[in-house]
Structure 1
Amino acid sequence: MSPPPAPRPTYRSALRTRPFRRLLAGHGLGTIAQLMLTLAVGIEVLERTGSGWWVSVTVALGFVPYVLASGYAGLLADRHSRSTVLTLSFSTRAGCAAVLVAGLALHGPIALLVTVAAVAAVLATPSYPALAAATVQCVPDEQLPPANALVTGVENVTWMAGPGVLGLLLLIGAGPTVGTATAAGLFVLAAALSAAARLPAPARPDAAPGVLAELRAGLSAVARVAAVRRPMTVAVIDNFLYGYLVVAMVLLAAEVFAGDGGGDGADNRAIGLLNAALSVGGVLALLPINLLAARFRPARLLLVTMTGFGAVTVLLGLSGAIGAPVGLAMGLVAVAGAGSLIAEVTAVTLLQRAAPDELTARVFGVYDQLNVGALALGSLLAGPLAAAIGAGPAMVAVASTCLALAAVATGRLREPARRGRHAAAGPGRASLSPPVGSLGPTG
């Protein structure tokens, strides 16, 4: 008797696994709390010093640790239960938030407040690698696309919700101290949800090779295994182009739509419309992901979506030369946002299927480092390139280059074999991946 067919991948089917639901909710609450904490300290710093430099330092220290420490953070999630790592990340950040509440209430030294906020950011770095690796444990292989779409959607929504929640508190008269206290409460709730997931620790070799050797094993998997390296390369290109687009479309709006209806107000209106279109495109892209994942192989879907992302960004760069209306530019930006999100979800699914079980979190630690760095680099290059050759031509040049690089990276991409990994196998489940020393085909 043949087994019943697997259910069609949907958001509802991905959420049937209770540990995944809890970890996803905890990660969302923790992300909101982390942003509230960072911004609340930045507001306090601005109020007390009036220094934009201090504010920049505060916010930068909230993001730099992701570039520097995510690799080691991934190692922690490969050594211990992913739910335990998430629980410790949330609970220790709750402690930092409590210290900050006291420091804000007592008007502690600015340097101390900024330092504690930076420590909280370091403690946040294991969160995404642990969740990405835990998703593979919690969710059956065929449900990975909608599960990853949920993770990406929750991250996008909570990145917008964090400043919004803090803003609402400020509107009703609460200050940074109340905002930080609220963040502490959210961290506690996130820790409770993660602790309730109770995932088994991943299988590890009997003889642990040491921290440096384990870190090198993660880097080696990224560098040597083609099935890991190529989708990660595409994800880095995707995030670089997205980071570039976020800044470049503002510069393009100021250049192309300047004076279109009257001065600075027209510029601000066009900038607002393009930013809204980018967000709407990303949110709407969550709707067809399940259908696309069911109909197309991930490698082909990644090629198509990255091609679309690059092509519409090229067209957006040409919009100034052809005198395109802002409505057309909004449509192109929305398609670009959708293509970027679908490409990222697809690349993550390919990585989860290709990464060896005992290296999954380390692979995603490297993924986090490279993608945050790519976002920052893309954002930083937009201004100088626009100043040098104009916003439109610069966007065409950057998008064309990214389109060509993504086509090369996806053209040789091969589908990794699907593996039936699931947390239901219990603590004693065997590793289904090759040993660390034999990472499979390279190239």
Structure 2
Amino acid sequence: DYRRLWVGSLVSHIGSWMQLIGSGWLVLQLTNSPFWLGVEAFAAAAPILVLSLPAGVLADRVDRRRLLLIAQSCVGALALILAVLAGLGVVRLWHILLLTALTGTVMAFTMPAWQAMVPDLVGKERLMNAVGLNSAAYNGAAVVGPALAGLILGAFGVAVCFALNAASYLAVIVAVWLIRTDCTGADCGRNVTVVDSLREGLGFIGRRRLVFALFALAAVVSVTARPYLQLLPVFARDILAGGPRTYGALMAANGAGALAGSLLTAALHRVPRKGLLLLCSAAACCLALGGFALTTSRPLACALLVLVGGGATLYMGATNSVLQQLAPDDVRGRVMSVWSMIGAGVMPLGSLLLGTLASLTGRV
């Protein structure tokens, strides 16, 4: 079951990265403003920020497999709509922002269920390996997807990127459909209100100092260090004097580092001092990102992004696995919904802030 899901997610992630590259470049073409790149990222994140906690309650109460089937079908349909609009040449900025926000709404319910289902399929003893492999699929796609998108953008146009993303969701839908493991949430059947369920999950985080500290550090990193991806189209065009291929190369370099970081995460599952690993990887990411901000050389920019992607992924992957190991089965969905909220919801707040600063100062 897990093997099929991993292959399906790899294909889907490649499509998602292609759409991310295509939509970022399209927004820049339509607006010529880094501010709107931040707004697009915020449109994707705002629903996740608002809905992740109730989505975590749902993930603990229902069949996670069925929830994922519905969600992935909806996201694929939204990608197809965007492909049609772009193909007909009628796409406008508000179309992109609306469809991005709707996609974020669906993803708010997808991510906690996906995260919570992994231990159901592999068991907690193999959890860090599975987290590393999941991250490898995502970041392997981050190498292939941007590189393909850069070529397709120049040769066929942005609509093809969106259409291929829509088609890629079929792989994960089939993989989830074939799962036979019972993935029903451990909280299913309890006569407890949503508010009480939320209070129970947040209370667990508040009582466990280590869990709370991990979330707090992740929130700081997500706001200050991780939003650089949303500004890469501007960096590629204005600082490196490049086009779609330069943008794709930067994203692919980041993805290559992230892939290495995810494989390292899987290999280091027996490391005893994971706290030191978390701090060192976060520090390496921030130092490399500072160097990237100062360079005007394309090769050096790509090399530094390899280090940024590797450090960020190792940090996030190790934190993810530690949190899932610490969380009891009956609150795992709610705990991971907070993780989703921080990783995918809080980070674009930093993107919006940095996009605004870039527009006001004229510098990225």
Q: Same fold judged by TM-score > 0.5?
A: yes
How far is the alpha carbon of 1:357 from its aligned partner? 1.0
Q: Are residue 338 (structure 1) and residue 310 (structure 2) matched?
A: yes
- Tell me the C-alpha RMSD between the 2 structures: 4.8
Shift of residue 136, structure 1, vs aligned partner: 1.4
178-187 vs 338-347, which deviates more?
178-187
Partner in structure 2 of residue 350 of structure 1: 322
Contact 1:204–1:358 under 8 Å retained in 2: yes
Partner of 1:209: 192
CA drift at 1:291:
4.2
The CA distance in 2 between the partners of 1:170 and 1:283, in whole Å, is 24
> Does the alignment pair 1:195 with 2:177?
yes
- The aligned counterpart of 1:395 is none
Native 8 Å contact 1:34 1:121 kept in 2:
no
Q: Does 1:296 align with 2:272?
A: yes
Match runs of 1:22-421 below 5 Å: 22-36=4-18, 50-52=30-32, 56=37, 60-100=42-82, 110=92, 115-159=98-142, 161-173=144-156, 176=159, 178-200=160-182, 201-204=184-187, 206-243=189-226, 278-309=254-285, 316=291, 334-379=306-351
- Equivalent-residue separation in structure 2 for 1:41 and 1:250 (angstroms): 10
Please give the per-residue CA displacement for 1:35-76, whole angstroms capped at 9, x wherever unaligned: 5556667777888xx445797555643343232322232222
Q: Any unmatched runs of 5+ in structure 1? A: 1-18, 259-263, 392-443
- Is the alpha carbon distance of 1:51 and 1:93 closer, same or farther for their aligned partners in structure 2, counting shifts above 3 Å? same
> How many pairs are equivalent?
358
Q: Contact 2:265–2:314 (CA<8 Å) still a contact in 1?
A: yes
Question: What's the TM-score once normalised by structure 1's chain length?
Answer: 0.63
Q: Secondary structure at the match of 1:293?
A: coil
Which one has the bigger helix percentage? 2
The worse-fitting range, judged by mean Cα deviation, of 342-351 and 68-77 is 68-77
Deviations 1:310-359 (CA, angstroms, capped at 9, x unpaired): 56668x59x98xx9x99999877654543322221111111001112122
Q: CA deviation at 1:164?
A: 4.3
- Greater RCO (CA < 8 Å, at least 6 residues apart): 2
Partner secondary structure for residue 79 of structure 1 = coil
AA paired with 1:217?
E
Q: 1:34, 1:73 → 2: CA distance?
A: 21
The answer to whether the aligner puts 1:21 opposite 2:3 as a matched pair is yes
Q: Give, in whole Å, the separation in 2 of the partners of 1:199 and 1:91.
A: 21
Cα displacement (A) at 1:90: 0.9
Distance 1:287-1:251 versus aligned 2 partners, 3 A rule: same
Q: Deviations over 1:226-272 (max 9, x none)?
A: 2422222233333344326668999999xxxx9xxxxx769xxx999
Contact 2:18 2:145 (8 Å CA) reproduced:
yes
Please give the alpha-carbon distance, in whole angstroms, between the structure 1 residues aligned to 2:51 and 2:117: 19
Q: CA deviation at 1:186?
A: 1.8
Gaps of 5+ in 2: none
Counterpart residue identity of residue 182, structure 1? L
Q: 1:142 to 1:308 in 2, by over 3 A?
A: farther
SS of equivalent to 1:126: helix
In structure 1, how many angstroms separate the alpha carbons of the residues matched to 2:157 and 2:289? Answer: 41
TM (norm. structure 2) is 0.74
